[in-house]
Structure formats: structure tokens, C-alpha cells
């Protein structure tokens, strides 16, 4: 992706944190039919490798696990908060009028070789791991063991695991860093008054990420 230096985020802990907070990825693979994109929740395993490994599962009926080209790295795109930025929030609108709308967003792109895993034991461990990850904030977490064993066994036969060791990762934090301080202050104030989805999260991000250093 196009990623100017003032928007580029290279800190692995920030990139991993966004994946953890927004795990629904768009997984892009090359197949004999061309590019395919599948929305898929993925879990990042901190397995000792430099960038970690993404794991998940798909329905056995989904052709993704059979048709992807294993010689071409897959791409997983994780989208964080985003918001429309009106030029009406910029102080420079009142000064010169030389302003235009834009869109602020946070995104992580992870690349790596994809492989399918058709192994019931591996899949059951993954289901337990995924469930623990997403149920842990609940007062009474649901467990895979809460469902009948034969029901879970049937479900395991209906899914296939996927695993993608991350070989490259890139982050783009487009948060008005290229604007002067007065314009950024206007963006923060405007987003703070907005009822649009994601506006409050974007206001906090703009507040926490100032202009490029140096």
C-alpha cells in the first residue's frame, strides 16, 4: 500500500495490538480464478517468531482452503477505526480556504505463506483458544465444553484450519499528522462532537499521535 513516512507505523507492538483489537481480517489469496477476498476472524499467536503467526478456520465448503496458490503469499488486512474529516474543522479554512476533505484511518497489512490444516486435534485446540480469547471479558464465559461432545465433533468435521506465519507487516496510521497543530485541534474537537460511528475512537487516536518527529 502507499504509505508516506509521516503515516507509517512500524512499532510491532502497535501493529499486534490493532490485530488483537480488530481481529476480523480480509484475507486475500490468489487462486486459479484470480484474487479472492474472504472476511475471516484471525488470531495472532505469539509463538516466538519475530512477527507471530495468524491462525483461524473456514467452512469446509469454502473453496479458499483448496484453491489458494501456495506459491504466492496471502495478505490479511485488519481495519481499525476510521472517520471522514471535513475541511470545516480546519482553522486554515477560515484563513485561506485552501482545504479539502479527507479520510483518517488505521490499518495493518500482514503477508505470509498460507497453509490449510485438516486435523481435528489441531482444530479443537484452536477452537478452545479462540473461545477463551473472545469469551474472557464476559462475566460468565462460554466454553466449547458447554456444548454436547457429538455436536462439537460434527462441527469439527465441517471446518478446516488455516495458518499463516507473518513474514511482512505494515501499518498505516493516517491521523492528520500532516496538518498544522490548529487544524489537528479542530479535527479532535469536531470528532468529539460527532455522533458518527468510530468518531470518538478516531479523536483519541489523533490526540495521541502528533506531527512527525524530526
Dump pLDDT digits (tens) for 57-93. Answer: 999 999 999 999 999 999 999 999 999 999 999 998 7
Fold observed for domain 8-83+102-177: Pnp Oxidase; Chain A (2.30.110)
Instruction: Provide mean pLDDT across the span 25-39.
Output: 97
Report yes or no: 88 and 193 within 8 Å, Cβ to Cβ. Answer: no
To which residue does cell 482545504 refer? 99
Three cell numbers written together for 200:
470518538
Identify which of 17, 115, 141, 109 has the alpha carbon closest to the alpha carbon of residue 58: 115
Dump pLDDT digits (tens) for 169-197. Answer: 999 999 999 999 999 999 999 999 999 99
Dump pLDDT digits (tens) for 10-26. Answer: 999 999 999 999 999 99
Q: How confident is the model at residue 47 (pLDDT cuts 50, 70, 90)?
A: very high
Amino acid at each position: 500500500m502507499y504509505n508516506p513516512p509521516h503515516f507509517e507505523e512500524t512499532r510491532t507492538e502497535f501493529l499486534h495490538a490493532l490485530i488483537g483489537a480488530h481481529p476480523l481480517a480480509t484475507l486475500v489469496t490468489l487462486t486459479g480464478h484470480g484474487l479472492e477476498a474472504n472476511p475471516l476472524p484471525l488470531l495472532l499467536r505469539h509463538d516466538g517468531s519475530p512477527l507471530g503467526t495468524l491462525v483461524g478456520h473456514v467452512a469446509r465448503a469454502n473453496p479458499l482452503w483448496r484453491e489458494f496458490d501456495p506459491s504466492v503469499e496471502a495478505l490479511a488486512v485488519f481495519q481499525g477505526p476510521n472517520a471522514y474529516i471535513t475541511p470545516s474543522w480546519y482553522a486554515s479554512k477560515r484563513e485561506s480556504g485552501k482545504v479539502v476533505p479527507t479520510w483518517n484511518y488505521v490499518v495493518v497489512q500482514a503477508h505470509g505463506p498460507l497453509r490449510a490444516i485438516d486435523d481435528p486435534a489441531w482444530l479443537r485446540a484452536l477452537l478452545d483458544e479462540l473461545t477463551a480469547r473472545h469469551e474472557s471479558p464476559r462475566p460468565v464465559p462460554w466454553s466449547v465444553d458447554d456444548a454436547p461432545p457429538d455436536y462439537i465433533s460434527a462441527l469439527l468435521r465441517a471446518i478446516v484450519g488455516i495458518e499463516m506465519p507473518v513474514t511482512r507487516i505494515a501499518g498505516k496510521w493516517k491521523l492528520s499528522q500532516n496538518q498544522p497543530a490548529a487544524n489537528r485541534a479542530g479535527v479532535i474537537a469536531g470528532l468529539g462532537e460527532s455522533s458518527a460511528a468510530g468518531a470518538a475512537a478516531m479523536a483519541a487516536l489523533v490526540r495521541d499521535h502528533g506531527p512527525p518527529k524530526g
